[in-house]
Amino acid sequence: MKHTSKIDLENIETVGKLAAQKACAIIRKHYKQRDFVTSMKGESDLVTTADLASEAAIKKIIRQHFPLHQILAEESDHSVDPRKGEVWIIDPIDGTTNFAHGFPVFAVSIAFVSKGKILFGVIAHPLWKETYTAVSGKGAYCNGEKISVSSTKKLSQALLATGFPYDRKESDENNMAAFVRFELRSRCVRRPGSAATDLAQVACGRFDGFWEPGLHPWDVAAGILLVEEAGGKVTDYEGKKIKDFWNRQIVASNKKLHRVMLDTIAETRKKPLKSKNFL
């Protein structure tokens, strides 16, 4: 692997996958040994020493190979703008709450973005041993096998996924009204607790669609590319392409369900279920 400041996507993919594998090994060890310390970042937002160890290992590998690239990572400085220059976007454990409670749904998510365009993404599951990868224009893969989104056309036959933001008690953008409507109009809605995992499941056709407010660049960057490269569609709640990774709205689908998902979300935003009425 060469040290270079030019964009060599093969090299980016090799290093990104290597970093994800290293992070998975660290996470697996801590998960099995239960030897990590958990602390709070907010009222319900957890961080563990395993998140920090995973992030440090990923950053070390990226810096060794690409010393000129910038890094935006969940547990570090958030001032890096992914729309400028070459930026790696890292979630060292997406699904930290699941990880800390011993629920085996969490993933490492790493994306490489150049001037706001996502060129590479990897989402790796330390326990499922599934690694999803996508390179811009080259399709999406799980463990090297090509994947594609589902062909479900009707919302009533769709299996969807979502999640709820950490500020759900304070904000009326709490996703409750949308959850109720989708749960009643689709086949079912799942809330696995790892947005990166949810997006990877849309990419491989297990979920037909996913939406969530309040997410951050590290939760979604790799997953956006995976869904698009698998033939799906990803937008904000207005149906616009996500250009600002901090926009905190995402709808990802198999394309066929996109319009109905946007319309359903729009209905619920006119009449939210206010958090204060349920506390």
Residues numbered 157-216 forming contacts with ligand IPD, rule: CB under 6 A: 163-166, 193-195, 212, 214-215
Residue from 55, 75, 86, 91 touching ligand IPD (CB under 6 A): that is: 91
Q: How much of the chain is in helix, strand and coil states, percent to nearest 5? A: 35, 25, 40
Nearer to ligand IPD, 209 or 214 (CB): 214
Residues numbered 209-268 forming contacts with ligand IPD, rule: CB under 6 A: 212, 214-215, 219
Torsion angles phi and psi, residue 31, rounded to 5: -65, -45
Nearer to ligand IPD, 50 or 61 (CB): 50
Q: How far is the CB of 191 from ligand IPD (least distance, A)?
A: 8
Structure tokens at 12: 């980016």
Span of 55-63, 64-72, 93-101, 233-241 interacting with ligand IPD by CB under 6 A: 93-101
Q: How far is the CB of 138 from ligand IPD (least distance, A)?
A: 26
DSSP codes joined into one string, 184-249: HHSSEEE--S-HHHHHHHHHTTSSSEEEEES--HHHHHHHHHHHHHTT-EEE-TTS----STTS-E
- Residue of minimal CB distance from ligand IPD? 163
Helix (H, G, I), strand (E, B) or coil at 252: strand
Helix (H, G, I), strand (E, B) or coil at 87: strand
Nearer to ligand IPD, 90 or 230 (CB): 90
Residues listed for the chain: 279
- Running DSSP on this structure, what letter comes out for residue 69? S
58 interacts with ligand IPD by CB under 6 A = no
Contact residues for ligand IPD, defined by CB under 6 A: 74, 91, 94-97, 163-166, 193-195, 212, 214-215, 219
